[in-house]
Each structure stands twice: as C-alpha cells, then as structure tokens.
C-alpha cells in the first residue's frame, strides 16, 4: 500500500517534470519563449484544472454514492455551455478587466445552475436521487435554451461554440492562472476539509446523521464548493470530458477506497493526468494541436474499461 502510494506519486512527479519538454522541436532562438511563455503556463493550467476536476469528481461520487456522479450530474457543464454560447453570440471578443466575456459567462452559467441544485439540496427531506433528477432536469433545460441560442447564431459563431465544447487548454499567460488559482484553491481546500464527514457517509446518510454529521450542511458545502471549482475550470477550458470520472476510479483501484487516500490523491493524480494528456495532445497530430478533451476521452475510456474488466474477472 505504502509502496504503491510512493510509486504513484513518483510517476506523477516525473510526468509533470518531463511534460513541458514534450512537443514539436523548439527552434533555438524561440526556445525560452516557447518554454516559459507557452508550455510552462499551459502545464500549470493543466495542473490546476486537472487536480480540481478530479477532486470534485471524487467528492461527488462519495456524496451521491454513485460511481458515475460527475459535475455534469448536477448541471454544471450544461450551465457553463449555455453561458459560453450566449457570450459567443453576443460577441466573444469583448473583455472586461482582462477577463474574456466568454470565460465570465461560462463561469456564471456553471455556477448559476449548480447553485440552483445546491439550493434544492438544502431541503430537509431531499434524497440524493432527487438531486440527480434535479440536475438532469436543469441540464436539459439549459441544453434546450442552448439549442435555441445556437439557432440564432451564424456559422462562424457555431464553429467557435463547437470548438469551445470540445474542451481545450488555452494559450494563456500567467495572468489567467493567477485569476483561476484562488477559485480552485478555495474549492480544493474546502472540499478536503470535508473528508472526515464523507468517510461517515459511506454507511448511508441517515446513519451518518445519527453519528453526528450535519448531512444537509455537508451536502450543500460539497455541491457549492465543487460547483465553484468546476465553474472556474470550465470557464477557462471548456468542458474537458472524463477527467473527473476516470481519475478517481484509477486512484480507487490502485490505492483503495479510503477517503483519506482517495481525495488528496485524486488531486495529485488528476493534475498530472491532465498534464500528460496535454503533452500527448501536442504531439499526436504533427503540425496541429488536438483539443485536450479528445485526448482525455481517448486515453481515459479504455483505461476505465480495462480497470472494470480486470476487477470483474
């Protein structure tokens, strides 16, 4: 167990250290610029986004006692997409205090829909399944409005929107990372403080309540903090698929289900997983860059199927 943990952490560190040097060869005169102004900030962004998304996935899976629960379950992704679409149609080039409108709108959309679900979670007699249903309902509503917005968009806007929904790590400077970092930090640190309560959740909500957990408070805090982190990530990068689903499952299979290991390790593994995917995205198609969302799906899906198949055999 301890050895596995050490090996896993070592692999993660190695990936992060090597990743910035992976990619098309850098011309000598532009080397410093490419490395320090493009690749390092991209890697940092991937670290922040990957870690946050994975932790939120792990927390939601614990909270809903459902291995398929993800931020999209409670409508976060659909809300972000709606926000981004509206911004694209209104004119994506506008920016407010250096923050692109599309980012701000996606953030607001993601947070708005998730907070609606969190408000429902505050109810006294609400069961976890009700929340999943509420999330699906809000997702469908947001999706329907999005379709309406798309209908009024021209083809250039549609292309931008489609690109956005693929999930990508943008060429950002350090400034955007500095903007995202506090959001992600609040979300990650806040969620990690809930570890102990989520441990008690394993034997059922009512049982947890009888053992002293304030179930409603934990539920709202988890959903709210999770939504905040995911909204931040989605705002800058679009919906990067599968990370939040796959990484907790990998950690669970390798290191066990104990929440004290699962949650913090999801942050670390998720961070390096997205860095790895980003590096792969740079080299997989020579001459152009694949959106990282495609790579996460392509890498993650077979991995997940393998892990499930190995367990059941």
**Residues of span 12-71 touching other proteins by CB under 8 A:** 65
Closer to other proteins by CB, 119 or 202: give it: 202
Q: Name residues contacting other proteins, limited to 181-200 (CB under 8 A).
A: 196-197, 199-200
Per-residue tokens: 255: 């290191």
Q: Does 257 bind other proteins (CB under 8 A)?
A: yes
CB 222 within 8 A of CB 205: no
What pairs with residue 244 in β-bridges?
none
C-alpha 128/C-alpha 132 separation (Å) is: 7
Question: Closer CB to other proteins, residue 122 or residue 162?
Answer: 122
Binds other proteins (CB under 8 A): choice among 94, 171, 193, 210? 210
Q: What is the CA radius of gyration of the chain?
A: 19
Under the binding rule (CB under 8 A), the answer on residue 263 touching other proteins is no
Cα 65 to the center of its chain, rounded Å: 19
The span from the CA of 166 to the CA of 251, in Å, is 25
Out of 204, 283, 302, 305, which residue is the one contacting other proteins (CB under 8 A)? 204
Cα separation, 221 vs 153, in Å, equals 37
The position carrying tokens 């250290």 is 17
Provide the mask over 112-141, with x wherever binding to other proteins is found by CB under 8 A and - wherever it is not. ------------------------------
Minimum distance between the CB of residue 217 and other proteins, rounded to whole angstroms? 9
Please tell me whether residue 260 binds other proteins under the rule CB under 8 A.
Answer: yes
Region binding other proteins by CB under 8 A among candidate stretches 23-31, 133-141, 158-166, 254-262: 254-262
For residues 69 and 188, which CB has a smaller minimum distance to other proteins in the complex? 69
Cα angle at 165 between 160 and 168, to 5 degrees? 90
Report the nearest approach of other proteins to the CB of residue 195 (Å): 10
In the list 258, 284, 298, 301, the residue contacting other proteins (rule: CB under 8 A) is 258
Q: Which residues contact 262 (CB under 8 A, 6 or more apart)?
A: 58, 62, 248, 251, 252, 255, 256
Helix residue spans in 64-204 (DSSP H): 76-91, 101-121, 128-151, 155-166, 174-192, 195-201
Q: What is the footprint of other proteins within residues 66-105 (CB under 8 A)?
A: none
Positions in the binding site for other proteins (CB under 8 A): 65, 196-197, 199-200, 202-204, 206-215, 257-258, 260
């Amino acid at each position: 167990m301890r050895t596995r943990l050490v090996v896993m952490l070592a692999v993660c560190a190695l990936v992060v250290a090597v990743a910035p040097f992976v990619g098309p060869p850098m011309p000598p005169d532009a080397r410093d610029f490419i490395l320090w102004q493009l690749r390092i900030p991209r890697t940092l962004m991937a670290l922040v986004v990957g870690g946050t998304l994975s932790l939120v996935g792990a927390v939601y899976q614990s909270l809903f006692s459902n291995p398929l629960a993800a931020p999209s379950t409670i409508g976060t992704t659909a809300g972000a997409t709606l926000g981004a679409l509206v911004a694209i149609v209104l004119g994506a080039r506008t920016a407010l205090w250096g923050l692109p409108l599309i980012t701000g709108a996606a953030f607001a959309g993601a947070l708005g829909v998730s907070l609606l679900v969190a408000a429902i979670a505050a109810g006294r007699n609400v069961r976890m399944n009700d929340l999943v249903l509420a999330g699906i309902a809000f997702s469908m509503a947001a999706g329907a409005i999005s379709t309406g917005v798309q209908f009024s968009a021209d083809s250039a806007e549609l292309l931008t929107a489609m690109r956005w929904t693929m999930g990508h790590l943008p060429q950002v400077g350090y400034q955007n990372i500095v903007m995202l970092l506090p959001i992600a930090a609040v979300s990650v640190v806040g969620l990690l403080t809930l570890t102990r309560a989520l441990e008690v959740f394993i034997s059922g909500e009512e049982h947890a309540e009888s053992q002293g957990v304030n179930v409603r408070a934990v539920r709202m805090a988890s959903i709210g903090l999770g939504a905040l982190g995911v909204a931040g990530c989605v705002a800058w990068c679009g919906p990067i698929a599968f990370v939040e689903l796959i990484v907790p499952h990998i950690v669970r299979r390798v290191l066990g289900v104990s929440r004290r290991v699962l949650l913090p390790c999801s942050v670390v593994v998720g961070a390096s997983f997205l860095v790895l995917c980003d590096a792969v995205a740079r080299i997989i198609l020579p001459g152009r860059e694949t959106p990282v969302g495609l790579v996460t799906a392509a890498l993650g899906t077979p991995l997940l199927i393998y892990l499930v198949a190995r367990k059941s055999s």
